Chain A
Amino acid sequence: MLTSEYWSTLQRHRLLVDRQMSTFERLFNNFFTSSNNNNQVVNNSNNSPARNPDLPILKRKSLSSSGSEDTIDNIEPEQVVDQQSSPHRRKRNKHYYQPIELHNNLLSNPLVYFTNKKEQITSLFSLGSVAKVLSGYLPNNPLPLIFDSKNQQDDQQQQQSSPPLSRSNNNTNNNNNPYTTPIKRHHHKRHNRENKKPIFKNTFKPTIIDHNNTNNRNNQHHNHQHQQQFQQQQTRESDRLYYSDSINNYYYKHQEQQQQQQPTLPIPTNTIDQSILNSFKSYQQNTMSVNNNNNNNDGDDDDSQQQPVELNDQMKQSSVYKPKSGQSFVDILKKEQQSKEFKESIDQLVESYTESLTLNEDLFSKSLPPPRQQNYLSTSLNNNQTSLNGSQYKPSPRKSISNLSTLQQQPEQSIDRFNSQIGSSHYNPLSIDDLSSSYSSISKSSHSNSDKNNNGLYKSSNLISSLKPINREIESIGDNELFTSKVIEEKKQTRDEEINQLLSKLQAMSGTSSYKILKQIEERREKEKRMKPTARELNDDEQQLYSKIISTTKRGDDKVVCEFDETIKLTGNDVITLKPGGWLNDEVINYYLELLKKRQVDCPDETLKCHFFNTFFYALMTNNKGGYQYQRVRRWTSKVDIFSLDKVVMPIHLGAHWCLAVVNLKEKRFEYYDSLGGDNYTCLGHLKQWLTDEMVDKKKEGVINLSQFTMHIPKDIPHQLNGFDCGVFTCKFADLSSRGLPLNFTQKDITLFRKLMVVECYYKKLSN
């Protein structure tokens, strides 16, 4: 049952929320314009002093004993525009509807209202998105059926002159019912609750129902001119119209109209409040007294008359009856009108700001907003009670949409509570006890009421028949599981869509060069993973050896520690440079290069074919930076054919810095590795020149096409983060480069490399 209402509330929330703060003011400007238009219409009708001075008195009488009326009135969210336009009414409202007026601020002055509640609104954004998504799920939109679309058009033409047919039909049925009086009670109760929902439903759809009707009703009740018109019609059709208990019948009819006009309305069989029942009794008494005062009531209860009946009833009632029926009526009408205005304006706004709506959808996909806020919003929006009840009514937080059922019920509860509070404060507190009663008691009472209804107190077959299918429909709609499942489905769909989009993008990228690059990068990463870092911890023996060597040597020690051969040997002074923080000298590097050479011989399969020049090659070739001089190194390659090799590796000493230069004959480029990230195209130029001279000297011109060679100074190599490790970096560059491995070590590994180098030099063999 409540689902429809809930949906309507969600819709509203969505509308409200979707208007983001940035567009907030603009939206409300539009809203104002629309509302103002409505106001104008209403004002025209209200300009006439339609209001009888008697009305307030009558109303007071009626209200004094009718708690049910209070509930209805309170249900109305906004006063509609009448208040603004007609000071008379405002006065009356001030007197009687003070609490309601506060609420009316929402519609009458929404900008102020919302600005005051900015926080709420902001918090609602997420909710709105949820509501929006949820609304999309409703298989059968809980929108009220479009009953009055035709009527509305007609009404627009004949505004206020002809009432809608449906209403008249309802009236006739009601009149026919012999059990009117007893039935009335139940109906009344029932409808009191139901009326709330239908009104909300109207807000749902632009479908329309009662805009014209509301105007008609308001006019009937508030406009003298219109009353005259109606009276004329009455006179013409006075034959048909009729019924004795005009007040009760009219009220009953009205409610039934409401029901039938909005067949989708959930019928709250379970939620009838006992307070309403009690209040209704008092209400009946009041009505009886009012009826006595009425002069126009003719005893005829002809049911066949339809339109005229309603008109007449209204007209008759309008004079005498207004205060009371007018209250309920007017409130309902106001509600409808307000809801419609609200809906229309918001729909327009939403249409104009669909972009913002789409943006909000993303929010929903991310996280479901707490249902608690939904509740709060629903109450605030539907009932406009947040301002009053907001502080008192704070529903417990819900954690998932699956709890919608509870959520749906809460707004109603709050409404009842609110109504009861208002009624108690301003009117006869008949329902105070009922108000204090908890929700469970309400449900119990509703059960009893429903039983009564089933027992046949009310035997209007039409109504029942009309209600049953509605119930079914609502049940189908209101299935919480259905909601949740649909929400989940939606989520899945959105995710799938996103995934598909990504996949499509990937596919589109597959043909492009960027995709190839990505693939290469991926392969390179895998390769790096495959090549584990060359640094390794020393085992115990190695650790002991290292500590022994380091501890027994000191700077300046001429004692030979490591002797590769008779010429390549390391003294203590050389080895000590391998201690962490030491600057490596040429002896160590050359020694390490000799180890590399040895590995070339020992493990030719693991390495590229390389030739290693010692640290003096480049220094001598360039005359120690004095300039290129091939003759000094001409005989260095007398025993080597460098053109048959893959790489020629040489350390470059730059005063106080070690770098590595590689002539990569295989990939036809001159490579330069500087652990400080420096460039040295001069060096590479010398190497190119050297290679050229080498070809000439070795009489192998044309073996290599130097024009194909490129300068390659990679920057994505390990960099030293201090001022003393460049020698180690250079050694490792040479090591890895000679094996064609990626340079996959970092500064952190250097300490280990130093220790390893000591051990390797001692054992005259590289460990890996």
Chain B
Amino acid sequence: MSTKEEPGVPQEKKEEEQINLRVANSDGSEVYFKIKKTTPLKKLCDAFCQRQGINPNSVRFLFEGQRINPDRTPKDYNMENEDQLDCAIEQQGGSF
């Protein structure tokens, strides 16, 4: 749980530093990722978008309500195993 995983490929067998992160998209479906604590979250985001088939520019990844900087690592956000990332799609509105 406390293992650090490299972004992109979940469940990559590495050292103890890998952690499992859940990424939940806007409709509630979750995707688990194993990622090293020192790996930038950008890899995770890209993997998620690739899997979901969505444009990375149209989604926002949130952790505890805060936007995450893809260049940051889970260590920077003190992410722990089984923590959840939220993937919110872009919002735009003017009227109904």
Contact = CB atoms under 8 A, between A and B. Distances in A.
B62 A586 contact: no
Contacts of B86: 616, 620, 632
A583 B94 CA distance: 5
B95 A726 contact: yes
A619 B88 contact: yes
A215 interface: no
A720 B64 CA distance: 33
B46 to A, nearest CB: 16
A635 B64 contact: yes
A182 B64 CA distance: 127
Given A616-B62, A620-B86, A632-B24, A583 B69 contact: no
Interface string A726-754: 11000000000000000000000000000
Interface string A599-628: 000000000000001111101100110100
Interface stretch (A29-37, A151-159, A171-179, A648-656): A648-656
B65 A656 contact: no
Interface in B47-96: 57, 60, 62, 64-69, 71-72, 84, 86, 88-96
B24 A725 contact: no
Contacts of B69: 566-567
Given A620-B88, A629-B28, A724 B94 contact: yes
A22 interface: no
A566 B68 CA distance: 9
A633 interface: yes
A241 to B, nearest CB: 109
B72 to A, nearest CB: 8
A533 interface: no
Given A614-B65, A620-B88, A632-B86, A726 B94 contact: yes
Contact of B26 (A624, A654, A722): A624
A557 to B, nearest CB: 12
Contacts of A589: 91
A568 B26 contact: no
A589 B27 CA distance: 22
Contacts of A616: 60, 62, 65, 86, 88, 91
A723 B26 contact: no
Given A566-B69, A585-B90, A654 B96 contact: yes
Contact of B91 (A619, A636, A639, A723): A619
Contacts of A654: 93, 96
A638 B77 CA distance: 13
A343 to B, nearest CB: 76
A658 interface: yes
Nearest to A620: B86
Interface in B4-27: 24, 26-27
A626 B27 contact: yes
Contacts, number: 101
A633 B62 CA distance: 11
Contacts of B24: 632
A577 interface: yes
B68 A567 contact: yes
Contacts of A727: 93-94
B94 to A, nearest CB: 4
Nearest to A724: B94
B96 A676 contact: yes
A626 to B, nearest CB: 6
A491 interface: no
Nearest to A573: B57
A657 interface: yes
A584 B93 contact: yes
Contact of A720 (B67, B89, B95): B95
Contacts of B27: 623-624, 626
Between B26, B57, B84, the greatest number of chain A beta carbons within 10 A of the residue's beta carbon is seen for B26
Contacts of B72: 566
Contacts of B88: 586, 615-616, 619-620
Contact of B64 (A558, A636, A658): A636
A720 B68 CA distance: 33
B90 A723 contact: no
Interface in A287-324: none
A586 B92 contact: yes
B48 to A, nearest CB: 15
Contact of A567 (B66, B84, B89, B92): B66
B65 A635 contact: yes
Contacts of A725: 94-95
A750 to B, nearest CB: 11
B91 to A, nearest CB: 4
A549 B27 CA distance: 36
Contacts of A585: 90-92
B90 A656 contact: no
A624 B27 CA distance: 6
Given A624-B27, A637-B65, A654-B96, 7 more contacts: A566-B72, A567-B67, A582-B94, A615-B91, A617-B65, A653-B91, A655-B93
Interface of A: 558, 566-568, 577, 582-586, 589-590, 613-617, 619-620, 623-624, 626, 629, 632-633, 635-639, 653-658, 676, 720, 722-727
6 contacts: A614-B62, A620-B88, A624-B89, A633-B65, A654-B96, A724-B95
